[in-house]
């Protein structure tokens, strides 16, 4: 289910001339989306919350394509759950931890080219956890994850801004 979307994300990136080589850039953009998620939560903007979760997942799918892994195989749906799941914000520390770990592991890879990353398995495991948390947040907000992701892919295909997928 995710792998098909992963391919669409990657094809869109190629068609638009967007980033398909810089893991670092994708991590920074994903962190930006996490900031937008937190801001949307603080301003109680449900539509923007869903969009930010979707954008984070889109960047995860793009990274899967860049790292040449199948997103359906790496998504971790048995991740550590917050003790309390009363609020969306209960997931934020877990998402923030995984984003930080992704950046840290990539930095330790000395920012080599994608094909030369020595700790690729560790990066992929963290990416799988991030995808799992995005999936949980979609469920928490009761959004149709696949529909949201398809809409984002369609909308991004029409954009010229290179910051997007």
What is the value of pTM for the model shown? Answer: 0.91
Residue 114, pLDDT above cutoff 80 = no
Is the predicted pLDDT of residue 117 greater than 50, yes or no? Answer: yes
- The residues spanned by each domain of the chain are 2-157
93, 120, 121, 143, 157 from 99: Cα distances, Å: 10, 15, 16, 22, 26
Could you give the CA distance from residue 78 to residue 97 in angstroms, rounded to a whole number?
16
Give the list of residues 6+ apart from residue 67 with CB closer than 8 angstroms, or none: 23, 114, 117, 120, 123, 124, 127
pLDDT tens digits for 70-96? Answer: 999 999 988 988 888 788 999 999 999
């Amino acid at each position: 289910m995710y792998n098909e979307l992963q391919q669409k994300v990657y094809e869109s990136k190629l068609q638009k001339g967007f980033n398909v080589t810089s893991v670092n850039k994708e991590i920074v953009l994903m962190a930006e989306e996490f900031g937008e998620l937190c801001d949307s939560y603080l301003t109680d903007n449900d539509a923007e919350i869903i969009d930010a979760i979707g954008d984070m997942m889109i960047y995860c799918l793009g990274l899967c394509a860049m790292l040449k892994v199948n997103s359906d195989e790496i998504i971790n749906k048995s991740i550590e759950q917050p003790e309390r799941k009363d609020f969306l914000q209960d997931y934020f520390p877990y998402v923030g931890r995984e984003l930080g770990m992704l950046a840290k592991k990539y930095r330790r890879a000395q920012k080599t080219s994608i094909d030369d990353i020595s700790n690729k398995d560790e990066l992929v495991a963290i990416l799988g956890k991030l995808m799992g948390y995005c999936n949980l947040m979609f469920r928490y907000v009761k959004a149709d994850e696949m529909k949201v992701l398809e809409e984002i892919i369609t909308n991004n295909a029409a954009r010229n801004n290179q910051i997007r997928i």
